[in-house]
A and B are shown apart, each in its own frame.
Chain A
């Protein structure tokens, strides 16, 4: 129907609504209102839906194990190649307000769960698409939003119903590895998904607190260095610092190191209050010189006294201090970043010491082996700190053919780490390959009939929207989408088996239990909740005011 005649949408479209006073002069309601364009009512909703769909359409082809990558070129010409939804959206530099909402959506999924960032956007896009059909039939957007809310709750509960508990222990990690492999299989690194998944699981278990069921991912450092093969990626129970020894002739390997972790520079102190030292006689000049030398000597002596065999410092050293350290046989690393310093402190069980006076033997960190390692033909060197007193901090060291590959591997590993963490927090899983969505869709469809009002249509639309994910999976894998989906759906109902999904890898079975394709329950639930929330928000907007183009 034409919204101009439809009183429920009110107002005149296209032109700015003007109010007049009794003399016929217009009131100015918005500042500089003639410079702004305004979309109202159904038009606003349609435009918003179109924008949301456009974003979802970009990500749709990246879904699943056969999903394609995108090349993103930043304003400075830097190239990123990825199929991680959150990264694509982050770097796309969108201008449209609604598109920005979708970007936020994927980002919050990333923060909360870390995986499924593509799926959540595709889901939201398909919800919007269904909503548009309902709007065209004259259903009020608020009713659609309410219907979606009801449906999402049904789907949420249904997921819990079909979820399985997956038992694992510190020794039996096979199930964790399998889940991480599902995540990694959609990335470019799927060539070595098994080894990377194992690395991710080992890393998470190393830092996990299984009693409290919590994992602090900050303790896992992911470092990358261009060169070598992806297969050379390794997990190091310790820390790697991209620095070298401050003096080229210091020993390259220290066993049973006692580490002093300092945040004060090896320089004469700089009091924070303003001061001046005036030199007006020769004596003063000489005492000051003596003082200065004593400072350096004292500093090195302090470190020696407490028994340190390695100094790691956040700041730089003076040449003189550097030589003194070398001279007193005390290897040192300078310019180590704050975050790394913290990790080193955690790993070695040491304390970060802000002042030389506070150095005590108890505050030293301990590591079994510290070594410097060189790479390739360039003079890149890194310092490995291994066999630490407290192995609760680990490093994943990625090697790969080029920078883009390393960056993409970092992102993929981040996803895998998040998945492993989520499983430790909550060991419920649902089966992947679109099976959970299909199962939810069936449940929501069945529930729809119970609602007497207009909501029934919205709930049914929600069920249709859920089908979009398996549909996209099938499409990306080169299968006939509609045919495959309907076959799987009928199989689920016939066999009452919620584990049937899309056979993306052409394995020959579509029982996801046999294919070992899992996703975490909380990840899936979060996807549905977040997507519904954003769609509700978009549907409630009926007025878009933006500065018009010059």
Chain B
């Protein structure tokens, strides 16, 4: 899956190819009389190095720019690997992860978007777009003969000031459970509105909020299982309070168990090997082979008996269960499920409150899992095993339904974003308004700072505010609105103290964000601001790029 290329052809792709060729064209200038590097290694200096990294970073930002906001467009990614797998997405991190990039500065941006994804889960596009805009402004300043270090110190001051401005405006409803839940709903809807799920955002927002509330403050999203089943429509997706295991029940075993006692295990149920090193079977007659086979079988029978002695009626194993033990379980009326993957096992342990066992000699002290009902259910065409009435309410399952696997993949990514943001918000419950409101608040504060700051740095601070405004501008542009008009209206609106105005993309006008219920998590915005500044700073500091000769591929490849 590592080699992808972008299929939709637009201007951005042109600039990408341009960057790729840039080093070669520059290297002809940089070659000195004395050969210092290995063949094919290149070196770029000063202005040229800076130009190469600016162009690279801006090209990447422009590439994902069109996906920003509720009316952002999707991209098709086609892998160059076998099968030419196609992905349709507008998730910034996914797009950037799939690109094959040569330009080092562009790699920095890809990296920050990945980190944003890992840390807060959303805002992956915004962070790249903001970093790109910061660099675009920086390029103008560099051309106006302002030293990069001066720009950096200006940017730092501006970022600090912008963060303080946001901190002043945050709303924290942690103590009021009702309001807090409403906040979460708003955040989830805002996040989802830019994704494929926007049609049913209310439905999915409820799903996501319910799921996250169950976690009770933990950020471990592993306990939320997402099962994708093609068929039906997106609206048919549902949250199940129990646990669904995508496995089949063994032949001849009960299909429905009430008041189940579950033993979750990770043990070999094929042939239990002798683990003493160097042991091997050596016999001199067929009869002895048979004897040992019987002994082996006996051993398995004993093991199964031990397991059954735990007083269970359901046994879930991570590894294979061979026919023989399966038969024994069936005889005892125990439901045996084989080959559940590791995550499934861990989750099942978590939900049912059982421990994952590997030895079975002390049945009295092994904690068994419990649930009210195990039954086989049908979703679409597939049969799944459903555990309901579980003890621990933390885990849950979201079943996604949709027309095609591509759609489901994208829906999963979108839902994942929403879940990430929500789980982070549960811990850091500070909330901001959305729709370009935070950017305008920051821009206003930064502008004021610029006016107060003497010296060349003020230019950089001013530029920072312009870069911030570029985000609402892009959102409006992507929605096909008159961005120049809207943003200037917005700015006028924000001149008033305590304004809650933002861009309402749906109606195409400036509107009251608090009224429309558009909110964003403070943590996401802060991460966007700080990592974008950090990345821009990193790229600005560079004045030389040295590229080593690419490692030679082996001949047989």
Residue B266 is within 8 A (CB to CB) of chain A in the complex: yes
Residue B120 is within 8 A (CB to CB) of chain A in the complex: yes
In the bound complex, residues from chain B placing their C-beta under 8 Å from that of A188 are: 537-538, 541
Asked whether B356 lies within 8 Å of A376 as measured between CB atoms, the reply is no
Which chain A residue lies CB-closest to B281? A279
> Mask for A398-425, Cβ within 8 A of B = 1, else 0?
0011111100000000000000000000
For chain B residues 87-107, which have a beta carbon within 8 Å of chain A? 102, 104-105, 107
User: Which of B29-37, B186-194, B236-244, B508-516 is near enough to bind chain A?
Assistant: B29-37
Asked whether B283 lies within 8 Å of A402 as measured between CB atoms, the reply is no
Cα A73 to Cα B101 with chains together (Å): 12
For chain B residues 55-111, which have a beta carbon within 8 Å of chain A? 102, 104-105, 107-108, 111
Asked whether A377 lies within 8 Å of B266 as measured between CB atoms, the reply is no
> Mask for A481-509, Cβ within 8 A of B = 1, else 0?
00000000000000000000000000000
Residue B557 is within 8 A (CB to CB) of chain A in the complex: no
Asked whether B356 lies within 8 Å of A249 as measured between CB atoms, the reply is yes
Cα A403 to Cα B361 with chains together (Å): 47
In the bound complex, residues from chain B placing their C-beta under 8 Å from that of A271 are: 277-278
> Mask for A57-83, Cβ within 8 A of B = 1, else 0?
010010000101111111111010101
Cα A280 to Cα B280 with chains together (Å): 9
Q: Is the interface of B mostly helix, strand, loop or mixed?
A: mixed
In the bound complex, residues from chain A placing their C-beta under 8 Å from that of B555 are: none
In the bound complex, residues from chain A placing their C-beta under 8 Å from that of B357 are: 323, 327
Known interface pairs A226-B118, A248-B346, A319-B266; A289-B544 also in contact (CB < 8 Å): no
Residue A140 is within 8 A (CB to CB) of chain B in the complex: no
Residue B149 is within 8 A (CB to CB) of chain A in the complex: yes
Residues on A lying within 8 angstroms of B by beta carbon are 47, 50-51, 54-55, 58, 61, 66, 68-77, 79, 81, 83, 88, 91-96, 99, 188, 191, 226-230, 247-249, 267-271, 274-282, 285-286, 288-289, 291-293, 295-296, 318-320, 322-324, 326-327, 374, 376-379, 400-405, 478
**Count of B interface residues, CB-CB < 8 Å:** 86
Asked whether A81 lies within 8 Å of B538 as measured between CB atoms, the reply is yes
B465 to A: closest C-beta gap in Å: 20
Cα A400 to Cα B36 with chains together (Å): 34
Asked whether A376 lies within 8 Å of B548 as measured between CB atoms, the reply is no
Which chain B residue lies CB-closest to A249? B355
9 contacts between A and B (CB under 8 A): A68-B544, A81-B541, A88-B546, A93-B37, A249-B355, A274-B278, A285-B274, A323-B356, A402-B112
> Mask for B111-126, Cβ within 8 A of A = 1, else 0?
1101101111100000
Cα A66 to Cα B151 with chains together (Å): 12
A294 to B: closest C-beta gap in Å: 11
Contact of A191 among B36, B148, B156 (CB under 8 A): B156
> Mask for B545-557, Cβ within 8 A of A = 1, else 0?
1111111000000
Contact of A54 among B34, B359, B550 (CB under 8 A): B34
B9 to A: closest C-beta gap in Å: 25
> Mask for B294-310, Cβ within 8 A of A = 1, else 0?
11100100000000000
Residue B267 is within 8 A (CB to CB) of chain A in the complex: yes
Asked whether A327 lies within 8 Å of B534 as measured between CB atoms, the reply is no
B56 to A: closest C-beta gap in Å: 10
Asked whether A66 lies within 8 Å of B149 as measured between CB atoms, the reply is yes
Contact of B358 among A229, A285, A324, A405 (CB under 8 A): A324
Asked whether A323 lies within 8 Å of B359 as measured between CB atoms, the reply is yes
Which chain B residue lies CB-closest to A329? B365
Asked whether B295 lies within 8 Å of A93 as measured between CB atoms, the reply is no
Residue B375 is within 8 A (CB to CB) of chain A in the complex: no
Cα A45 to Cα B311 with chains together (Å): 88
Counting residue pairs across A and B whose Cβ atoms lie within 8 Å, the total is: 230
Known interface pairs A71-B53, A95-B36, A320-B267; A374-B546 also in contact (CB < 8 Å): no
Residues on B lying within 8 angstroms of A by beta carbon are 32-39, 41, 43, 49, 53, 102, 104-105, 107-108, 111-112, 114-115, 117-121, 147-149, 156, 219-222, 266-268, 274-284, 288, 291-292, 294-296, 299, 346, 349, 355-359, 361-362, 365-366, 420, 423-424, 530-531, 534-535, 537-538, 541-551
Cα A69 to Cα B538 with chains together (Å): 8
Known interface pairs A71-B104, A327-B359; A279-B279 also in contact (CB < 8 Å): yes
Asked whether B551 lies within 8 Å of A405 as measured between CB atoms, the reply is no
Asked whether A73 lies within 8 Å of B545 as measured between CB atoms, the reply is yes
Which chain A residue lies CB-closest to B545? A71
Asked whether B112 lies within 8 Å of A267 as measured between CB atoms, the reply is no
In the bound complex, residues from chain B placing their C-beta under 8 Å from that of A270 are: 277-278
In the bound complex, residues from chain A placing their C-beta under 8 Å from that of B148 are: 68
Asked whether B279 lies within 8 Å of A288 as measured between CB atoms, the reply is yes
Contact of B119 among A227, A280, A405 (CB under 8 A): A227
Asked whether A93 lies within 8 Å of B549 as measured between CB atoms, the reply is yes
Asked whether B292 lies within 8 Å of A282 as measured between CB atoms, the reply is yes
Asked whether B108 lies within 8 Å of A81 as measured between CB atoms, the reply is yes
Contact of B275 among A75, A226, A247, A318 (CB under 8 A): A318
Which chain B residue lies CB-closest to A378? B118
B317 to A: closest C-beta gap in Å: 11
Which chain A residue lies CB-closest to B551? A75
Cα A296 to Cα B420 with chains together (Å): 41
In the bound complex, residues from chain B placing their C-beta under 8 Å from that of A318 are: 275
B117 to A: closest C-beta gap in Å: 8
Cα A17 to Cα B53 with chains together (Å): 49
Q: Which residue among A270, A271, A275, A282 has the maximum number of chain B CB atoms within 10 Å of its CB?
A: A282
B254 to A: closest C-beta gap in Å: 27
In the bound complex, residues from chain B placing their C-beta under 8 Å from that of A276 are: 278-280
Which chain B residue lies CB-closest to A231? B530
Cα A276 to Cα B281 with chains together (Å): 10
Which chain B residue lies CB-closest to A379? B222
Known interface pairs A277-B279, A374-B220; A402-B531 also in contact (CB < 8 Å): yes
Cα A323 to Cα B543 with chains together (Å): 56
